Amino acid sequence: MTISTDRLKTMFAAIAAAIEADKDRLCALDGVIGDADHGIAMDLGFAAARDATAALGNDADPTAVFNAAAKAFLNAVGASCGPLYATAFMRAGAAVKGKAALTADDMVDAFAAMAKGIQDRGKAEPGEKTMIDAWLPAAEAARQARAAGASLPAALAAAADAAEQGAEATRNFAATKGRAARLGDRSLGHVDPGAASAVTVIRAMADSLADA
């Protein structure tokens, strides 16, 4: 089964709903090592992405959906997660340019492009206590699962599990990037809020496409 434009719109709505439900927890996590607004920014961004993609006409292709999400997210939020997620969606859109609907391989490619986009924009490396610690293992897990013949839902489920483990591991890292970097060792023991929200995003994507 291929993933249509409508399916992608539904996916963005599902991410928005999951982030909205998780908003307070994300703010609380950010309050420990940051400035307590991460849940607000993510909620604003995905609500804007949901609305902008929902407003697209039937002639929009998957690339148009990703681009609309990118622009809406960025302009609603700014902050750090604005450029990071906007770049992720633009790269996903570029990865599937010209396609009317997405195969399982296309979707895994788009997913990998999102992770790469976040890394390129934020210039973070693994182990620096950022959302990259969830996104990179997730993209790798999806790629490996797909290469081993897994279905798209299985590949995305593997990605979500890997993201969760990656986010959990950020407890053991001292932040060197982003605002928490100023805390150094005082950030030890706390999950990075950006990694935690990445898990929510990836899990929502996986759940939304579980029957794809």
Partner 1 sequence: MQTKKIINDGAKAVEEMLQGVLAAHPRHIRAVEGSPRSIVSLNGPRPGKVGVVIGGGSGHEPTFLGFVGKGLADACAVGNVFASPPPDPIVECAKAVDGGAGILFAYGNYAGDVMNFDMAAEMLAMEDIEVRTVLSTDDVASAPPGEREKRRGVAGNFFVFKAGGAAADRMLPLDECERILRKANDQTYTVGVALAPCSLPQTRRPNFEIGPDEMEIGMGIHGEPGVERGPLRTADEIVDDIIDKIFAEMAPSRGDRVAVLVNSLGSTPLMELYIMNRRVAARLADRGVDTHATWVGNYCTSLEMAGASITLHRLDGELQTMLDHPCDCAMFRAG
CA distances from 36 to 22, 31, 40, 194 (A): 13, 4, 8, 12
Retrieve residue 97's tokens: 């340019």
Report the C-alpha gap between 143 and 65 in whole angstroms: 23
* Residue pair 84/59 in contact by the 8 Å Cβ criterion: no
Stretch that binds partner 1, among 35-43, 54-62, 104-112, 201-209 (CB under 8 A): 35-43
- Interface residue with partner 1, options 13, 18, 41, 142 (CB under 8 A): 41
CA distances from 166 to 121, 138, 157 (A): 20, 8, 14
At a CB cut-off of 8 Å and minimum separation 6, what does 46 contact? Answer: 12, 15, 16, 19, 20, 73, 201
**Complex with partner 1: residue 48 or 204, whichever CB lies closer:** 48
**Complex with partner 1: residue 105 or 120, whichever CB lies closer:** 120
Does 121 interact with partner 1 (rule: CB under 8 A)? yes
**Complex with partner 1: residue 62 or 122, whichever CB lies closer:** 122
**Complex with partner 1: residue 60 or 79, whichever CB lies closer:** 79
Stretch that binds partner 1, among 80-88, 107-115, 151-159, 200-208 (CB under 8 A): 80-88
Does 182 interact with partner 1 (rule: CB under 8 A)? yes
φ, ψ dihedrals at 197, nearest 5°: -70, -30
Helix axes 132-147, 104-122, angle to 10 degrees: 150
Q: Work out how close the CB of 30 gets to partner 1 at its nearest, in angstroms, rounded to a whole number.
A: 9
Does 70 interact with partner 1 (rule: CB under 8 A)? no
Site string for partner 1, 142-181 (x = CB under 8 A): -----------------------------------xxxxx
Retrieve residue 95's tokens: 């990865």
Q: Work out how close the CB of 44 gets to partner 1 at its nearest, in angstroms, rounded to a whole number.
A: 7
* Residue pair 20/40 in contact by the 8 Å Cβ criterion: no
Stretch that binds partner 1, among 8-16, 72-80, 100-108, 144-152 (CB under 8 A): 72-80
Q: Where does this chain bind partner 1 (CB under 8 A)?
A: 27, 31-37, 40-41, 44, 74-84, 121-122, 177-184, 186
